[in-house]
Amino acid sequence: MGLWQQVLLGAGGGLLVELLDFYNRVAAWRQTRRAQTAEAAPRFRAYFDAGPDVAVALTRAVLGAAAAAAFGAGNQAEGVAGLLAVGACAPVLLSQLGQTLGGPGATAPGTPAPGDVGGDEAAAAPRVRPAEAEGSAARGR
């Protein structure tokens, strides 16, 4: 399968998720309209905000395309269903990949996290949050 096909399938997977979200909003809008009188029925715009929703859909399509291209090029995903699935879950896949590879807040194994002090002894000692320490002191009174 060519790269452009992988990109299109990934983008399609991302857009499928947005299409499902759109369907759920339309169904919720319909249900609310049926439960209320015609005068009090909510407008469709209460369930759909065009600007942000289109921006999210485009972002999902780009993330899906990028993830499918990356996973397809590395033979990590194959076939139509596999690349659609990669595109559909691209935001989660890419954020987990970023954390695994040392994204924001990640530390190398064996290194203390920011704010930790001490060596191996400090790491072996159980950590007590200040609120827990205050609560146990208050209970002992």
For each successive 10 residues of the chain (141 residues), what is the average pLDDT? 91 94 92 84 84 92 93 87 92 82 59 53 48 47 44
Q: Report yes or no on 129 lying in a domain.
A: no
The Cα–Cα gap between 94 and 117 comes to 32
Q: Report yes or no on 130 lying in a domain.
A: no
Q: Report yes or no on 139 lying in a domain.
A: no
Q: Report yes or no on 21 lying in a domain.
A: yes
**Domain encompassing residue 45:** 3-100
The Cα–Cα gap between 7 and 53 comes to 22
How many domains, the chain? 1
pLDDT at 112: 56
Q: Report yes or no on 141 lying in a domain.
A: no
Q: Please tell me the pTM assigned to this model.
A: 0.62
Closest CA to 8 of 61, 51, 56: 61
pLDDT at 107: 55
The Cα–Cα gap between 40 and 22 comes to 22
pLDDT at 103: 57
